[in-house]
Amino acid sequence: MRLVKRSLSGKLHAYLKLFPVVAIIGPRQAGKTTFARMELPDWGYFDLEKPSDFGRISSDREFFLSQYGEKCIIDEAQTLPELFPALRSHIDRARNKKGRMVLLGSVNPLLVKSISESLSGRIGFIELSPFHFKEAKSLYKIDLEEFWLKGGYPEPLKWNLQEHSVWIEQYVKTFVERDVFSILKTTLTPQKQVQLITMLAHSHGRLWNASHIASAFGISYHTVNHYIELMENYFLVRRLIPYHKNIGKRLVKSPKFYFRDTGLLHFLLNISGTEKLRTSPYRGFSFEGFIIEQLIRKYTLEAQNPPSFYFYRTAQGDEIDLLVQDDRGLAAYEIKTAVSIEQSDIRGFQKAMEQLKLEKGIIVCFGKENFSLSRKIEVKSAETLLKAAAFD
């Protein structure tokens, strides 16, 4: 596979000038190893899922660090939490020396917990997600609809749909048979877990209701919430929290639930091709989550300070799909799969903007044209917006 320079390249090299250690975290198969080795080709590389490397490092951690602890990449670092106290001692012998080690990890809670206890103040975190549209477009000349259908995992992106489906099936199988059982200790069989994940896919883009899912599935809502927390920590799903402000309106308080990769979502919903995507009753929910995830990555990469992300909805149904709060204030996005947008389509969005006293809003649509719908509202083509966004 031809390599593409990831948009996080600049951030990685900036962090290596700021911190002794940089951790690159993200879902399995998102391209963390390829990214690190392409950006740091002269660095040593060790994989803790490889028995020989695990034995070499675990047998004498201090000796390993004394010999290889400079310009070193350690993959799946969370599998050896005993490494982190030794790494802290190694770093502190030359505390002001930067850019010494890169850790890769696909399990957010384990890796971050271990590091927070041992390497606080000595490490910078970067989250590497699967490809966003701009990266995929530069590599494969893929159009927006195909990318939306397949999602962004790099390896199967250019495979045919049948091969892509097999890859996603094995990805899910690995999650339920290895990752879940190693952490959650659930009594659910792999088959029941796949059924649960499929049920969760039908909740994509909707308000999160653990009790409803638990009742339908015949398990406790605590079990459902624990499972979702694990999926969040493996970067598979996202719960977008509601924006609350004292505006004299009854506001929705439950978060909204999204699968972060639409290729995984479509596999679970049995949306196996473009025609099925175009006619699916889940089309609008899928597109909404797709654009939200793309925009969140854009803002997270560009921001000097971490932005916050919300949705807004009143009990009357006035709604903003995505609110971004950063140093510049609040930015409002409404997401539509329609090719054309008219004033009547966005009354709830306009009312929500008025309630929040926002001066500008953006409608992201599936069409090709960009235009102003009113003095305060611009309509942007999704493809143009995502290609033109300053990801670099």
Per residue in 192-227, pLDDT (tens digit) is 999 999 999 999 999 999 999 999 998 999 989 999
Please report the sign of the dihedral spanned by the C-alpha atoms of residue 338, residue 341, residue 344, residue 347.
positive
Q: How far apart are CA 65 and CA 72, in angstroms?
A: 9
Does the CA dihedral 304-128-308-383 come out positive or negative?
positive
Amino acid 355 reads Q
Beta bridge partners of 45: 73
pLDDT at 249: 66
Per-residue confidence (pLDDT) for residue 298, from 0 to 100: 87
Name the β-bridge partners of 257.
206, 239
DSSP H helical ranges for 40-160: 51-59, 61-68, 83-92, 108-118, 133-140, 144-150
pLDDT of residue 392: 36
pLDDT, tens digit only, all 392 positions of the chain: 455 677 788 999 999 999 999 999 999 999 999 999 999 999 999 999 999 999 999 999 999 999 999 999 999 988 888 899 999 999 999 989 999 999 998 876 666 677 777 888 899 999 999 999 989 998 888 999 999 999 999 999 989 999 999 999 999 999 998 888 777 777 888 899 999 999 999 999 999 999 999 999 989 999 899 999 999 989 999 999 999 876 656 677 899 999 999 999 999 999 999 999 999 999 999 999 999 999 999 888 776 778 999 999 998 889 999 999 988 889 999 999 987 777 777 889 999 999 999 989 999 999 888 888 888 999 999 998 888 755 33
Cα dihedral 203→206→212→217 (10° resolution) = 0
For residue 130, the model assigns a pLDDT of: 94
Report d(CA 335, CA 340) in Å as an integer: 12
User: In Å, how far are 14, 124, 205 from 232, measured between CA atoms?
Assistant: 27, 20, 15
Torsion of CA 60, 63, 68, 71, to 10 degrees: 100
372/375 Cα distance (integer angstroms): 7
Residue 391 confidence (pLDDT): 36
* Its pTM surpasses 0.75: yes
| CA dihedral sign of residues 128, 130, 134, 139 | positive
Q: What is the pLDDT of residue 1?
A: 45
* Distance from C-alpha of 4 to C-alpha of 142, rounded to nearest angstrom: 14
Please give the Cα distance from 137 to 150 (Å, whole number): 13
Give the pLDDT confidence of 140-189 residue by residue, as tens digits. 889 999 999 999 999 999 899 999 999 999 999 999 988 887 777 778 88
CB 221, CB 209: distance < 8 Å: no
**What is the Cα–Cα distance from 365 to 228, expressed in whole angstroms?**
30
* DSSP-derived 3-state class of residue 267: helix
What domains are defined for the chain? 9-127 (3.40.50.300)
3-class secondary-structure state, position 125: strand
Maximal CA-CA distance, the chain:
69
A 10 A CB-CB count for 173 gives 13
